[in-house]
Structure 1
Amino acid sequence: MPSGFADEKNGERCERSICVNNPHLDSMKEDILYHFNLGTATHDFPAKFGDVKFVCVGGSPWRMKSFTEYIAGELGLAVPNAEYPNICEGTDRYAMYKVGPVLSVSHGMGIPSIAIMLHELIKLLCHARCTDVTVVRIGTSGGIGLQPGTVVVTKQSVDAAFLPRFEQIVLGKSVVRSTELDGDLAEELLQCSRELSEFQTVIGNTMCTLDFYEGQARLDGAFCSYTEEDKQNYLAEAYAAGVRNIEMESSVFAAMCKLSNLRAAVVCVTLLDRQKGDQLSSSHDVLHSYQQRPQVLVGHYIKKKLNIAKKS
């Protein structure tokens, strides 16, 4: 198979190369990453992306452009009046920005959207022959038993039954994959938060759901077949299972990164405590300040790692 690819069936494993477990890619003359508007016949992936060491992904294109501008400043790579072009210009599916060794990509909302993006991102990194890549999802979430504004670094992603698994139907059959994340990376991020001392950060399980309303026990959707007591009992069960926040992407993110041999973490800020309500009541300015917290934490981590690499 091509350099950087590994065949899971044959048990091959890369050290910290990107593992893409698909032998069919060998026979393709060109790999078109349709949703990125990129292709191996039209773009020089090693030249454009070969230096990438960190990938940050988040739902909103605006948020990922903002992160690019922020990390450029943190790494001393900012240029006055610089414009960071969208590498995926020409498609409205995703946005992608790059500054130095950091790639920033939007993934939309929900498991299907981020899964499509990850398939193409993982192949992009492999075609570029990247090694030792760390991928972090930064975003927002609903908290359970936490003050709004608390940042949660995910220990493991669990489903709506609080089980650490991602289930997908492939060829009509159920395939269950692990949602284990890199524990050492989570601890490093927690240590970075202690160094910042700007906001509370905890490590906890993250519940990944298929829906924003009923799937998250909200009472304010178009349909609701349960009571307030039912909701509170369910959230209490989640808390007892170690769940500290709820979002809609972490399970497939964890599963696909693990399959690809990528160090991965999920860092999400909580915008409210779901045990105290379902709708956001904080001001726009307060919510905006909360949303900056994951990028501040991850930016500090990236800067620290690059400084260590320079010294060594």
Structure 2
Amino acid sequence: MTSRRFTENQEIILDDSKQSLSKDGSLIIQNPHLKSLSSDNLYHLAIGTETHDLPALFGDVKFVCVGGTLKRMKSFAQYMANQLNIEFDHKDWTQASHRYNMFKIGPVLSVTHGMGISSLSILLHELIKLVYYAKCTNVIFLRIGTCGGIGVDQGTVIITEKAVDGLLRPFYELYILGKVVQRPSICDNELVSELKSIAAQEISGFRVVSGTTLCALDFYESQARLDGAFCNITEEEKNNYLYQLQDAGV
């Protein structure tokens, strides 16, 4: 569903259409133009519908796990191989693209997304199309990685139950055809509950909590750091902002 509202000089479009599943758990893609393509090249993954038999190669995928760096996601792939008792062949399925890294361990994909919202957005577009073309069913997407913490001890694991932008809005905002488009950032409450239950039963030695995650536009200024190349805020303003975030549940 799409709705529109207007500010003085700007049209803002709220697009709350959701990626939904069919009865068999396969993805119903939210782009009607894809049906008219004779082939689709997932350029940044170096994978295509003509060059690869996607259902045969990836049809068994149930978990797509993404994280920032090669070292982290390769280590995660090795960990999953050990847990599933599968030999890890270290094959990087996206090596030819020189942009991301993707490892397959049975039903698990371990993929790097680089740094920043734009890099992750490109990857998610192509990963969603990958599981669609591969006819995967009931796939779960997870982002695994580090973040700053507010009001929690260092080393605490946070399970995100709500995601907000730098204005504390639960939206992902982008510009399409010169217009502002806002898409709600909605977490799967059932998955969050399941992860919390697993953590309570299986994990000891460090704290696991759920909370709100703020997705900033950059590492320095948007996160109120004082040590970037540019800065026009005071330490007092920074601390007041962090207290504001803590009061908002971040």
1:19 Cα deviation after fit: 2.6
Aligned to 2:214: 207
1:22 Cα deviation after fit: 1.2
CA contact 2:157–2:208 (8 Å) conserved in 1: yes
CA contact 1:57–1:106 (8 Å) conserved in 2: yes
Aligned to 2:9: none
Aligned to 1:37: 46
State percent identity of aligned pairs. 51
Aligned to 1:197: 204
Distance between the aligned counterparts of 1:191 and 1:26, measured in 2? Answer: 40
Aligned to 1:24: 33
1:21 Cα deviation after fit: 1.2
Which of these residues, 136, 155, 162, is aligned with residue 149 of structure 1?
A: 155
CA contact 2:20–2:29 (8 Å) conserved in 1: no
CA contact 2:63–2:139 (8 Å) conserved in 1: yes
TM-score (norm. length: structure 2)? 0.89
CA contact 1:193–1:199 (8 Å) conserved in 2: no
CA contact 2:21–2:27 (8 Å) conserved in 1: no
Which of these residues, 61, 66, 72, is aligned with residue 70 of structure 2?
A: 61
1:139 Cα deviation after fit: 0.4
Amino acid at match of 2:216: T
Q: SS at the partner of 1:56?
A: strand
Q: Does 1:229 align with 2:231?
A: no
Amino acid at match of 1:28: L
TM-score (norm. length: structure 1)? 0.72
CA contact 2:40–2:50 (8 Å) conserved in 1: yes
1:224 Cα deviation after fit: 1.1
Q: Which 5+ residue runs of structure 1 have no aligned equivalent?
A: 1-7, 244-312
Aligned to 1:83: 89
Deviations 1:205-239 (A, max 9, x none): 00001010010011111111111110010010011
CA contact 1:154–1:204 (8 Å) conserved in 2: yes
1:83 Cα deviation after fit: 3.0
Q: SS at the partner of 2:85?
A: coil
1:13 Cα deviation after fit: 5.8
Q: SS at the partner of 2:212?
A: strand
Distance between the aligned counterparts of 1:171 and 1:201, measured in 2? Answer: 42
Which of these residues, 73, 80, 95, is aligned with residue 82 of structure 2?
A: 73
Which has more helix, going by share of residues?
A: 1
Aligned to 2:22: 14
Distance between the aligned counterparts of 1:224 and 1:12, measured in 2? Answer: 43
Which of these residues, 39, 42, 47, is aligned with residue 56 of structure 2?
A: 47
Greater CA deviation, 219-228 or 18-27?
A: 18-27
Aligned to 2:102: 96
Distance between the aligned counterparts of 1:110 and 1:86, measured in 2? Answer: 22
Q: SS at the partner of 1:142?
A: coil
Q: Which 5+ residue runs of structure 2 have no aligned equivalent?
A: 1-15
CA contact 1:31–1:39 (8 Å) conserved in 2: yes
CA contact 1:32–1:40 (8 Å) conserved in 2: yes
Q: Does the C-alpha gap of structure 1 residues 201 and 108 become closer, same or farther in structure 2, counting only changes over 3 Å?
A: same
More RCO (CA 8 Å, sep 6+): 1
Distance between the aligned counterparts of 2:186 and 2:121, measured in 1? Answer: 16
1:65 Cα deviation after fit: 1.2
Deviations 1:243-283 (A, max 9, x none): 0xxxxxxxxxxxxxxxxxxxxxxxxxxxxxxxxxxxxxxxx
